[in-house]
Amino acid sequence: MALSNDVRTRRRLGHAGLILLAFFHCGRVWLSNIGRARAFRISRAAQPEDSTADGTDWDQELRRVTERLKQKELQEEGLSATKPLFRQSDEWTVERVELQDGVPPVGSVLMANPRSFLDKVTPVAAMRTGWMPSLESSRRDKARLPVVLITRRTADSLQGVLLGSWSGKLLGDMDAQYFMTRPLYIGGVNVSGLSMVHSYPEMPGSWELIDGLAASDDFNMACDWIENGPGSALRFKFFWNQVVWRMDEIDELAPEQGIWIPVTVSGDLLLREPDSSFEDPLWAQYALKAGGELKELGERFGLFPPDA
């Protein structure tokens, strides 16, 4: 191998990217030193979004970036509107799933139970995801509850990534030389660096989550895969850091705790990016599709749009 992995990563992520990574890293150490209260504020700041859909600065910024994204995607992929890369939305599903040995299976998605996040906050679960109660009471703010995709189970932990917590950055903003139009999501508060969820289980170094959906953490491999292999950049999602449950913490996931509700979400629905900033938070979207208890909870807590 001509170049060490480090050098290749540096080339591919670019200088600004590295500085940002270093900042994230130092920031994390700093955070753990000054305590969790601030970590909350930081991760909250990482997902500012709009509180109403009526055109705040952030709202406009998001819309601008979304448009930029779409245009670039069309150019890069040479896609026509008649050739969608993703399956139609009527095939997207969200369904309840059973625990396996008391643990949600890899590939399942944990939906925060509003009873434990809005009614009476369960601090440990909230801290684990960096979530904090909203001071504003808009419906959309309340509906921005944690949604975690479980990506790995090891001998001593269960790991996942927060879905839908956008950092406000694209990989290109970090000077990455590949995947420039892809958004970077905050995967959680536990340090793990960059990881990916994508639709290529056959990509070396990947592990399958559900049918047609895989995870990996080798950025170089992903670059090779879209440069020389069959991969499309549009079928990757990027996460910085993750959510972790140690094995002695997984009691939190037991159904009788009423903290998390496990579901499975079809791969295309998981991989898609929002079309606009007017889209509802993921929690509300998934809960409506899931129906049953989740829909009832969403209704009870007023988390759905009036026309839902």
Binding interface with ligand NAG (CB under 6 A): 32, 157, 189-190, 244, 246
Return the number of the residue (24 or 304) whose C-beta is nearest ligand NAG: 24
Return the number of the residue (41 or 68) whose C-beta is nearest ligand NAG: 41
Shortest distance in whole angstroms from residue 218 CB to ligand NAG: 21
User: In whole angstroms, how far apart are CA 296 and each of 109, 121, 171, 226, 303?
Assistant: 18, 19, 38, 42, 10
Radius of gyration of the chain from Cα atoms?
19
Shortest distance in whole angstroms from residue 121 CB to ligand NAG: 17
Return the number of the residue (36 or 115) whose C-beta is nearest ligand NAG: 36
Shortest distance in whole angstroms from residue 93 CB to ligand NAG: 32
The rounded distance, in Å, linking the Cα atoms of 303 and 308 is: 10
Return the number of the residue (126 or 197) whose C-beta is nearest ligand NAG: 126
In eight-state DSSP terms, residue 28 is H
Which residues have C-beta within 8 Å of that of residue 113, sequence separation ≥ 6? Answer: 258, 259, 260, 261, 297
Shortest distance in whole angstroms from residue 56 CB to ligand NAG: 30
> Could you tell me how many residues make up the chain?
308
Shortest distance in whole angstroms from residue 190 CB to ligand NAG: 4
Return the number of the residue (203 or 244) whose C-beta is nearest ligand NAG: 244
Return the number of the residue (117 or 225) whose C-beta is nearest ligand NAG: 117
The rounded distance, in Å, linking the Cα atoms of 282 and 271 is: 12
The residue number whose beta carbon is nearest to ligand NAG equals 190
Return the number of the residue (120 or 246) whose C-beta is nearest ligand NAG: 246
For residues 97 and 261, the answer to whether their CB atoms sit within 8 Å is: no
Task: Locate 90 and state its tokens.
Answer: 């009527």
For residues 144 and 50, the answer to whether their CB atoms sit within 8 Å is: no
For residues 11 and 98, the answer to whether their CB atoms sit within 8 Å is: no
Shortest distance in whole angstroms from residue 72 CB to ligand NAG: 35
What stretch of H or E contains 125? helix 123-129
> By CB neighbour count within 10 A (0-12 exposed, 13-18 middle, 19+ buried), where does 214 fall?
buried
Shortest distance in whole angstroms from residue 143 CB to ligand NAG: 25
Angle at 218 between CA 217 and CA 220, to 5 degrees: 150
Shortest distance in whole angstroms from residue 298 CB to ligand NAG: 29
Return the number of the residue (154 or 228) whose C-beta is nearest ligand NAG: 154
Give the β-pairing of 207-210 and 213-216.
antiparallel
For residues 247 and 157, the answer to whether their CB atoms sit within 8 Å is: yes
Shortest distance in whole angstroms from residue 123 CB to ligand NAG: 12
Return the number of the residue (13 or 149) whose C-beta is nearest ligand NAG: 149
The rounded distance, in Å, linking the Cα atoms of 181 and 115 is: 37
